[in-house]
A and B are shown apart, each in its own frame.
Chain A
Amino acid sequence: MSSVKAPLRAKSVSSQAKLPKTELEKATIRFAGDSGDGMQLTGTRFSATSVMAGNDVITFPDYPAEIRAPAGTLAGVSSFDLSISSNEIYATADYLSVLVTMNPAALKLNLQDLEKGGILIVNSDNFAENDLRKAEYTANPLESGELNDYRVVQIPITKLTLRAVEETGLSHRDGVRCKNFFSLGVVQWLFVRSLDQTRDWIEDKFKNKPEIAKANVLALQAGYNYAITTELFQARYNVPPAVLPSGEYRQITGNQAFSLGCVAASLRSGLSLLYSSYPITPASDILHELAQYKNFGVKTIQAEDEIAAMSSTIGSAFGGVLAVTGTSGPGLDLKSEAIGYAVMAELPVVVLNVQRGGPSTGLPTKAEQTDLLAALYGRHGEAPVPVLAPATPGDCFYMVLEAFRLALKYMTPVIVLSDGGLANASEPWKIPDVDQLPELTPNFHTDPENFSPSTRNPETLGRLWAIPGTPGLEHRLGGLEKDAVTGEINYEPENHEKMVLLRDEKIRRIAKDSPQLELIGPEKNKLLVVTWGSVFGPAFSVISDLQTEGYPVSMLHLRQLYPFQEKLGEVLLNFEKVMVPEMNLGQLSRLLRAEYLVDAISFSKLQGRPFLISEIRNRVLELIK
């Protein structure tokens, strides 16, 4: 299909308005442009509109580590994917149906993801020689024929936007900035979406800057009208509402779900929440979000560094509040000494680690699952810590509650491993019924009779939590080995070994107290795919399809990585082969091999982005051949 060169001014109403509507089950759209082009916002608005239209929606933002790399360069490209569907979806599709690119750099980096025959919307105002040079193009792709496989829609978006906002008297610079809403208008028309919701949102968002609000609304409307009145598209696409389990929904990202989970845990436990953390991508949003909830009694500390964040969190746990910190890879390294201290002092703290590409500074804005072994073993000494991992953005909410449940019950630090994908991705989330949320019970000890800081609950081995302010229970906690009975300092060899075993046993007992394993598919099968974290999405999409198609494959998703749930070993033995797709070099597969002596086959991907559905599918098919 050859390019359509769009006229600068739309013709009067054409037959386009009566274009046929094509029903689609799902579509994947990517908005890509320069970091300064507002693509994240555009994507978020379109997903909000789609959600309101009843679709199941999954989003995947992808942005560079640099806040503003030189405009127009490949380093500065930021993009936002969303899949909209009339069925439940768990991962964005491998290939895009529509790609919107605001400049040549965005085109260059993203074109390979557009399906053949897919719609490519291009801002043709940004293809001057200089723009092409910055994107390292030697020939203009709009003219070279390299786009012949796609349905190219060239629109002079910048010029049309400036014309649309002319009446507001906005400066050239501010006017140009409205162009993302123009492109949004075009896409909203293409997918038969009403503009009302976006318009309301703009008016609310910019209520203190009415001229900006007006200009953005004009740009949005202009884009929509432009699509109506020009012969750019051959059809409009309608993705009908999805049939999700009935109930009330909202859209939620992983980091939002973490934040809400913290507040919910606070209210369910009756303890005030203290979140202390040091800004780090991609975890900072948790701090931003929680800082707004002071009226829930939430206190936040922006600590001077990662070590202080962890230390103050432990200090607050000693004081008897619900203590939580958040971080990402490099921060986890810095926190590890203090986490070991919390193991030794046996204080309940939760560490939310949003994994990113590592080691070192690595890929700050990209997703990876490379901190699993660090979470389990990244401390000196025998320092066992329960490790949990949410499967989806919404699941982050429940994992925080579970983390607090374990922390309070077993008096231990708990690490929750999210990743850069879950943190920023969003999905429709069924709003939970507050009364159905687990009750969290802080068992504050108040009885001075025979108390020592080593006194434990015989069932859980959790130490008693006696907080300052409680008369008669004055005691000292420290990082030195303590006597198993009196809690005083004790360096004796036998006592140390006893304490090491005791701390180990305490955490192992959690295995019996965990939710049951949920196997997807037959209990005995040719292949079991074991996943954790965000790999759930693409893997589940693949496995449910393959199961429908009759392939002998089952799936097991682990949300608790330490200790492993009871029966895991038995479950694994029922399969001829076990495959573990992970965004690392096989960390979970190594754990499974070590623990259960199974020949777990690792399937790795380390590109800072999720597995493609086809990648997992092909590997599974190879293994069950």
Chain B
Amino acid sequence: MNIQVKPVRTVELSKADFVSKQTPRWCPGCGDYSILANVQKVMPELNIPRENIVFVSGIGCSSRFPYYMNTYGLHTIHGRAPAFATGLKVACPDLSVWIVTGDGDGLSIGGNQLLHMLRRNLDVNVLLFNNRIYGLTKGQYSPTSEQGKVTKSTPFGSPDIPLNPMLFALSAGATFIARTYDTDSKGMQNIFKEAAKHKGTSFVEIYQNCNIFNDGTFSAVYERSEREDRILRLNHGKILVFGKDQNKGIRLRGLKPVIVDLDKDFNEKELLIHDQFCEDSTLANLLSGFDYPDFPVPMGIIRQVESPTYGEKIEEQVKSQIEKKGVGNLEKLLRGNHAWTN
């Protein structure tokens, strides 16, 4: 009765198999190109038949993404990709569902949908392209734009306080949160693969450059000459160190994280160790709160914990009700408990 997705076929696929006929229409130089290329690169390595993969998006530059993937795709309405994906995934639990959204689509108009999908731990992968601007509507500030940001809609500076996507996801109960950036192919590929493996909502923020309306918004963080001092690369089980010479570390002083100079007061035992699998979210909270210029920006997997997924729970209920009551009989159901004959 259920529409079952075909059993996994083992077909050798290549990157080219995931490139659709539609030519991307992003501006030349847009960070979206590199994200697309890296997603296409990773897809064949996931060993999932192409027909079982669905890309779902909302509205915005990033949301054009599904058109360029030669998989199933649904380019939906503004902000609602998580809701479309919820229906799809509950209907077809065996699909590999990817949501592509942006800082406007996911965190402004679609904040509620994203929140509730994360809370439910729907088994999908979310790629949130954060460029801190509205691109498709030609340059208004977004929920992640810095306060004071001058844009067309805020000629005297944005009065809004920006939202931190990692903290947002975490407080919604996300079981997998990670951050990467559009020029880091290796980092993206690694995280996409881990995200695909994770059972539950994998939430990935990708710093993405919009070279037309917000060029260089993250340059301070990831421009080549400075980035090793401004990025904290996360490795599970390793101490939190950064810097060109790996000579800076993070430790706690009381409840506050501080940066220490390893050349001066080095005591490795005092440094924090990254534990992405920790059930307790204190460390994840701490790391998520790090931002330039006060702290290096964490890149990598911040948190990855196991928890039952929404779909699993629903499937379980169907199964257990069938076990308990037997497969439903329509005639009996229509008759109800108090039928009579005339």
Interface residues of A (CB under 8 A from B): 48, 51-52, 54, 243-252, 260, 263-264, 266-267, 270-272, 274, 276, 293-299, 301, 303-305, 307-309, 311-321, 323, 337-338, 341, 345, 431-432, 434, 467-480, 488-489
Contacts and interface: CB of A to CB of B under 8 A. Distances in A.
Interface of B: 1-6, 9, 20-22, 49-54, 56, 59, 66-67, 69-77, 80, 82-92, 94-95, 112-113, 115-116, 314, 317-318, 321-322, 324-328, 330-331, 333-336, 338-342
Given A341-B77, A479-B76, A250 B335 contact: yes
B51 A473 contact: yes
A320 B92 contact: yes
A51 B341 CA distance: 11
25 contacts: A245-B342, A246-B341, A250-B334, A250-B339, A266-B1, A272-B2, A295-B328, A299-B90, A303-B83, A304-B113, A308-B82, A308-B113, A311-B76, A312-B84, A315-B74, A318-B54, A319-B3, A319-B91, A320-B91, A345-B74, A469-B6, A471-B6, A475-B73, A488-B22, A489-B22
Given A476-B66, A476-B72, A488-B22, A311 B87 contact: yes
Contacts of A319: 3, 87-88, 91-92, 95
B20 to A, nearest CB: 7
Contacts of B113: 304, 307-308, 311
B238 to A, nearest CB: 38
Contacts of B86: 276, 301, 303, 308, 312, 315
Given A248-B339, A251-B338, A260-B333, A274 B328 contact: no
Given A274-B90, A295-B328, A468 B72 contact: yes
Contacts of B66: 476, 478
Contacts of A477: 73-75
Nearest to A53: B340
B71, B72, B113, B331 interface centre (most CB from chain A within 10 Å) = B72
Contacts of B336: 250, 252
Contact of B87 (A267, A316, A480): A316
Given A320-B3, A341-B77, A479-B77, A249 B87 contact: no
Given A271-B3, A272-B1, A474-B51, A431 B339 contact: yes
B5 A468 contact: yes
B9 A471 contact: yes
Nearest to B67: A476
A304 B85 CA distance: 14
B87 A488 contact: no
Contacts, number: 237
B321 A469 contact: no
B76 A263 contact: no
B340 A52 contact: yes
Contacts of A54: 340, 342
Contacts of A295: 318, 321-322, 324-328
Contact of B91 (A246, A321, A432): A321
B72 A474 contact: yes
Given A248-B340, A431-B334, A478-B74, A467 B90 contact: no
List the 5 shortest-distance A-B pairs measured between CB atoms, nearest first: A312-B87, A478-B75, A315-B87, A296-B328, A311-B83
Nearest to B21: A488
Contacts of A301: 86-87, 90, 314
B28 to A, nearest CB: 19
Nearest to B318: A294
A471 B48 CA distance: 12
Contacts of B322: 294-295, 297
A178 to B, nearest CB: 23
A48 B70 CA distance: 58
A270 to B, nearest CB: 6
Contacts of A489: 22, 67
B112 A311 contact: no
B85 A474 contact: no
A270, A318, A474, A476 interface centre (most CB from chain B within 10 Å) = A476
B79 to A, nearest CB: 8
Contacts of A317: 87
Nearest to A442: B3
Contacts of B334: 250, 260, 264, 431-432, 434
A474 B59 CA distance: 21
Nearest to B75: A478
B3, B20, B85, B328 interface centre (most CB from chain A within 10 Å) = B3
Contacts of B91: 272, 274, 299, 315-316, 319-321, 323
B92 A469 contact: yes
Contact of A263 (B20, B328, B339, B342): B328
A314 to B, nearest CB: 6
Given A276-B86, A468-B5, 20 more contacts: A249-B341, A270-B1, A294-B318, A295-B324, A299-B91, A308-B80, A312-B83, A316-B91, A318-B84, A318-B87, A320-B92, A431-B335, A434-B330, A467-B3, A469-B3, A471-B51, A472-B51, A474-B71, A476-B73, A478-B76
A305 B112 CA distance: 9
A86 to B, nearest CB: 12
A321 B88 CA distance: 9
Contacts of A467: 3, 92
Contacts of A314: 76, 84, 87
Nearest to A256: B336
Contacts of A321: 2-3, 91-92
